[in-house]
Structure 1
Amino acid sequence: MKKNVLIIGAGGVAKVVAHKCAQHNDELGRIAIASRNLSKCQAIIDSVTAKGSLKQPAEIRAYALDALDIEATKALIRETDSQIVINVGSAFLNMSVLRACMETGAAYLDTAIHEDPSRICETPPWYGNYEWKHLDECRERGITAILGIGFDPGVVNAWAALANKQYFDRIDSIDILDVNAGSHGKYFATNFDPEINFREFTGTVWSWQNRQWTPNSMFEVKRTDDLPVVGAQNLYLTGHDEVHSLSKNLDVPNIRFWMSFGDHYINVFSVLKNLGLLSEQPVKTAEGQEVVPLKVVKAVLPDPASLAPGYTGKTCIADLVKGSKNGQPREVLIYNVADHEEAFAETDSQGISYTAGVPPVAAARLIARGDWDARQMVNVEELPPEPFLTLLDQMGLPTRVKDEHGDRPWNA
């Protein structure tokens, strides 16, 4: 049984993780938060205290940490006696934090694939470029490492596993649909780290079609879906983390990820990209200063965590699964709807952060109980989905299913 959680990162998702860990500190034990920015860690602790989120009286401690420093991260894991590390910092940190966990014995959780700051949209499968190179070492050391345990990737992977296990004999396609129908009232902003956000969309869009990797350009392929609560939405084929593990772990010939975008976002994005302002490669100014255009854009855009007050509307994220059951064609929509205002009322965070931050805490609880203490590196679809989805139902992210029998809770 593992206890004591170290949260690495101090953004909007980390705030949700801290609130949810606090709500379940009877299971999870002591909580520590670490980031390069100590004041951001303390602000999260203040939010947890103000909301009265702690289930049992306890102190949450903040630490200054450069998580790229493996030795410093190992030392902090040992100092805090943390047996579970939830990495919700930048995706650039993944391999350093994973290494620290492997060498201290702590369980490792993250919410996205590792990224090299100098590279964008590498050759698929992306996990094969970094994390999966350590599969054998994690198994030999008995290290639990759960990759991509946010919402997408994360919950959508568990839904795919559920569909494969319960709803279908054969799956022909999985289309992951990600819609944010909310409004933050800003002229332009991204809902999570602008640097990571833009990097997803400036390179090749990779999807898994006819059992092979298929390249497209961003905003090249569009569809419209009428989804529960949020209604008709325009979605665009986008490259995304979960496609890279689901294509390996499930026998499904077509797996695609789609995200909703409004015309305003597309226009601003296109101007920034065409001007070269989304480049990750450094340039020199006339004064001889070297700058990375993408980092400059990030610096002038609103901090995603600042969007939470006044954010209205809902999100809808779904797996649209098609295939057959008992020889008959079947289509099932597995989905969740989250509310920005409800997320803020509970955790001082907007709905995008909420959907990403609740799942790793559910996973941490399952590790603490031993149910998901895999003692090897796994993606979410390799684990039993039922206990995870059951906890999410209780923790604010209920799963629903819409099929020929109607629209209902997944376990009804």
Structure 2
Amino acid sequence: MKKNVLIIGAGGVSQVVAHKCARNNDVLGDIHVASRTVEKCEAIVASVREKGSLKVEGRLEAHALDAMDVAATKALIEKTGAQIVLNVGSSFINMSVLSACIETGAAYIDTAIHEDPLKICETPPWYANYEWKRREECEKAGVTAILGAGFDPGVVNAYAKLAHDEYFDRIDTIDIIDVNAGSHGRYFSTNFDPEINFREFTGQVWSWQDNAWVSNSMFEIRKEWDLPVVGTSTTYMTGHDEIHSLSQNLGVPTVRFWMGFGDHYVNVFTVLKNLGLLSEQPVTTAEGLEVVPLKVVKAVLPDPSSLAPDYTGKTCIGDLVKGVKDGREREVFIYNVADHKDAYNEVGSQGISYTAGVPAVAAAMLIATGEWDVKKMANVEDLAPRPFLAVLDRLGLPTRIREGEDDRALDFA
């Protein structure tokens, strides 16, 4: 068994992860939170203590860390005795944190694909640009590295694997649908790091259709879905991490990702983009200052973690899977519904952070107990889905299955 967790990052997702780790520290051991801004880490530690989240007595500490510094990250892993590293910081740090894990033997978990700050929307499949190049390195070192263990990517990958293993003989299409029907009451904000959020939408929209990569523009392809709880929802086909692994690992001809957006978001985004304010490339002001427009926009928007107290409404995220079972066409929607206010009351974060953070803790628990300690690099769909979904069910993200008129909880009996 592996014990002791180092959480890298100090945003809303980290807050969720710290609380959930604390509530399972009988399995996970000591908990350490690290980020460049140690005050944010200390606030998370204080929040965990205020809510009495520690299940048993144990270490809960904050640390200052520049996670781009491999040597410093390695030193902190060794100092804390962490055997599991939960990387929920910026996706720019993935490769440096992975390097530190490989050098120390600690297991690695992240929730999003690695990105180069100067490149947007690289050649698909995205995982082949960075992560998969290090498969052999992980296996040689015997290091477990679980990629994309958030909700999407992450839980939706497990839903796809469950459908592949249990519900279909042949899958023709997987449509991943992510709708946030909540309201934060601000004029405009993103639900997670604005820089990462906008980078997802300013490049090409890559989808996998008929066994080939297809490129579209953002907000070009629109579709409405009738979803449980949140009702009829407008979505747009969007590029996203899980398409780039599911398309290669499950042999499904068509994999697409759809995200819900309101007209107001689309309008503000379009104005910002057309003005050049979402560019990741530096510009020089009349005063001779070099600035990155996207970072300026990030600086003036609300911190996503500040949205939590006033957030209301629900999210619905799931996989609509179509194919054939026993010679008959079949359609199944595997999904979860989460509530923003419930998330805030429990851990002090909004629902988007909750759905991203809880799965990473579930993955850590499965590594700790050995079920997912595979000692190599893996995407979530490479692993057994039922143990993961069972832990999620206990941690507050239950899975439901809708097929025709039947809508039921996933049975773990």
What TM-score results when the alignment is normalised by the length of structure 1?
0.99
2-side partners of 1:10 and 1:301: how far apart? 18
Task: Establish whether residue 66 from structure 1 lines up as the match of residue 66 from structure 2.
Answer: yes
The residue aligned with 1:245 is: 245
3-state SS in 1 of match to 2:310: coil
2-side partners of 1:148 and 1:48: how far apart? 25
2-side partners of 1:247 and 1:106: how far apart? 29
The residue aligned with 1:3 is: 3
The residue aligned with 1:228 is: 228
The residue aligned with 1:369 is: 369
3-state SS in 2 of match to 1:257: strand
CA deviation string 1:198-232 (max 9, x = no partner): 00000000000000000000000000001000000
The residue aligned with 2:87 is: 87
Residue 141 (structure 1) shift: 1.1
Residue 181 (structure 1) shift: 0.1
The residue aligned with 1:329 is: 329
The residue aligned with 1:135 is: 135
Instruction: In structure 1, give the amino acid aligned to 2:332.
Output: V
3-state SS in 1 of match to 2:356: helix
Instruction: In structure 2, give the amino acid aligned to 1:134.
Output: R
1-side partners of 2:406 and 2:284: how far apart? 59
3-state SS in 1 of match to 2:242: helix
Residue 405 (structure 1) shift: 6.3
3-state SS in 2 of match to 1:358: helix
Residue 7 (structure 1) shift: 0.1
2-side partners of 1:32 and 1:166: how far apart? 38
The aligned runs of 1:162-177 (5 Å cut-off) are 162-177=162-177
3-state SS in 2 of match to 1:241: coil
1-side partners of 2:211 and 2:305: how far apart? 39
Residue 37 (structure 1) shift: 0.3
1-side partners of 2:405 and 2:199: how far apart? 40
- Aligned pair count reads 412
2-side partners of 1:115 and 1:235: how far apart? 25
CA deviation string 1:361-397 (max 9, x = no partner): 0010000000000100000000000000001011000
Residue 58 (structure 1) shift: 2.2
The aligned runs of 1:87-126 (5 Å cut-off) are 87-126=87-126
The aligned runs of 1:121-200 (5 Å cut-off) are 121-200=121-200
2-side partners of 1:408 and 1:34: how far apart? 40
The residue aligned with 1:303 is: 303
The residue aligned with 1:292 is: 292
3-state SS in 1 of match to 2:195: helix
Residue 351 (structure 1) shift: 0.1
The residue aligned with 1:318 is: 318
What TM-score results when the alignment is normalised by the length of structure 2?
0.99
CA deviation string 1:79-101 (max 9, x = no partner): 00000000000000000000000
1-side partners of 2:102 and 2:184: how far apart? 40
Residue 410 (structure 1) shift: 1.4
**Gaps in structure 1 of 5+ consecutive residues:** none
2-side partners of 1:233 and 1:116: how far apart? 33
Task: Establish whether residue 395 from structure 1 lines up as the match of residue 391 from structure 2.
Answer: no
Instruction: In structure 1, give the amino acid aligned to 2:234.
Output: N
2-side partners of 1:70 and 1:363: how far apart? 23
Residue 194 (structure 1) shift: 0.0
Task: Establish whether residue 264 from structure 1 lines up as the match of residue 244 from structure 2.
Answer: no
Residue 19 (structure 1) shift: 0.3
The residue aligned with 2:14 is: 14
2-side partners of 1:214 and 1:316: how far apart? 26
- Percent identity of equivalent pairs: 71
2-side partners of 1:404 and 1:68: how far apart? 49
1-side partners of 2:96 and 2:407: how far apart? 43
1-side partners of 2:176 and 2:116: how far apart? 25
2-side partners of 1:14 and 1:319: how far apart? 26
CA deviation string 1:320-376 (max 9, x = no partner): 000010000000000000000000000000000000000010010000000000100
2-side partners of 1:359 and 1:275: how far apart? 37
Instruction: In structure 1, give the amino acid aligned to 2:368.
Output: A
The residue aligned with 1:75 is: 75
CA deviation string 1:156-211 (max 9, x = no partner): 00000000000000000000000000000000000000000000000000000000
**Gaps in structure 2 of 5+ consecutive residues:** none
3-state SS in 1 of match to 2:112: coil
Instruction: In structure 1, give the amino acid aligned to 2:260.
Output: S
Instruction: In structure 1, give the amino acid aligned to 2:194.
Output: P
2-side partners of 1:293 and 1:330: how far apart? 47
2-side partners of 1:324 and 1:88: how far apart? 37
The aligned runs of 1:42-57 (5 Å cut-off) are 42-57=42-57
1-side partners of 2:251 and 2:90: how far apart? 31
Instruction: In structure 1, give the amino acid aligned to 2:224.
Output: T
CA deviation string 1:18-68 (max 9, x = no partner): 000000000000000000000000010111111111101223110000000
1-side partners of 2:334 and 2:410: how far apart? 8
2-side partners of 1:61 and 1:150: how far apart? 23
2-side partners of 1:386 and 1:226: how far apart? 27
The aligned runs of 1:14-33 (5 Å cut-off) are 14-33=14-33
